[in-house]
Structure 1
């Protein structure tokens, strides 16, 4: 699709290139005006062709990536992805980076908190630092288990860090 778009631009077949976009029909004329000049078309062709090897398509539980052999399903080491999110979260807490910390929370938690309120609540909770320390230790020793709805890191005695998948990304849902 992207290659066909680039080829149509390169061949000055602007209506064909435009037909490969999601823009509304009434915007064809401005599109044609934008790419009327050959140098502008060539710059866009170069941009598109350079981006083709990096193409990815994402859905909640699937990522496709463009390769020389065509589209392929991107398989990740299942436990590595939530582990990386959890490390980012722990590192953000340690660095007092509450914007990043907040951004890694699940949607219900992000709706309940702001970065500022999260920082204030964390500082007021006497066990917060200890919980983060326990999670980091468990992460160093234990294995993150991928579940049907996300992932979990067991902490012992019916306690676990829970991660959920939202829009294809892992998010922190609970620390214990």
Structure 2
């Protein structure tokens, strides 16, 4: 079954489920995230992938990553744990779900690049290569796939040390410019992020 057909069938089944509960509307962020976690747990990987931004050419890497039940379970638990602080993001705009409803987040200049670098490092350390790849700059995403990113990190003996230094830099000062942000590492080295369509992306970790 093609990915398009699978996506359509899943969308119809989700819509039918919502209609049955009197909620016939476009699924919101919490509904999509919950359906994604449930699909992972139940090993419905085609349906889970259809609820992500993973392109069709990366579906094999997605399936391989979540072939292990323990990996699927960990990701589902991670998604559910994040639901109370769910965010909606767009270039130059972040909304946070609070008990009082959705609220616009007014960020300090350093907050956005710090959050992106933190998400990237968290993804690398968790082996979530699809997410790590999605946070790379355009040139790096063109050069890599999630699978190749994983292989390069495993082959490179200094990868763990670079991630450790980047994690330390994350706690330090941030130099924000018109085109990106830098986290100094010392000796004229830095973790660099660039702004693409209003979003920060990782360009180099040293």
| Number of residue-to-residue matches in the alignment | 114
2:124 to 87, 93, 103: 93
CA 1:64–1:98 in 2, change beyond 3 Å: closer, same or farther? closer
Higher Rg of the two aligned structures: 1
| 2-structure distance, mates of 1:117, 1:139 | 25
Matched, 1:118 2:149: yes
Structure number with the bigger relative contact order (C-alpha 8 A, sep ≥ 6) is: 1
Q: Which residue of 1 aligns with 2:173?
A: 143
Structure 2 unpaired stretches of 5+: 1-23, 26-87, 96-103
CA 1:139–1:74 in 2, change beyond 3 Å: closer, same or farther? closer
Matched, 1:163 2:188: no
Q: Deviations over 1:16-74 (max 9, x none)?
A: xxxxxxxxxxxxxxxxxxxxxxxxxxx98xxxxxxxxxxx9x6x6x5599xxxxxxx97
3-state SS, counterpart of residue 91 of structure 1: helix
Ranges of 4+ aligned residues in structure 1 off by more than 2 Å:
62-65, 73-76
Length-normalised TM-score, structure 1: 0.58
| 1-structure distance, mates of 2:107, 2:167 | 22
Q: Give me the CA root mean square deviation.
A: 2.5
Structure 1 unpaired stretches of 5+: 1-42, 45-55, 66-72
Length-normalised TM-score, structure 2: 0.50
1:152 to 182, 192, 198: 182
Q: Which residue of 2 aligns with 1:79?
A: 110
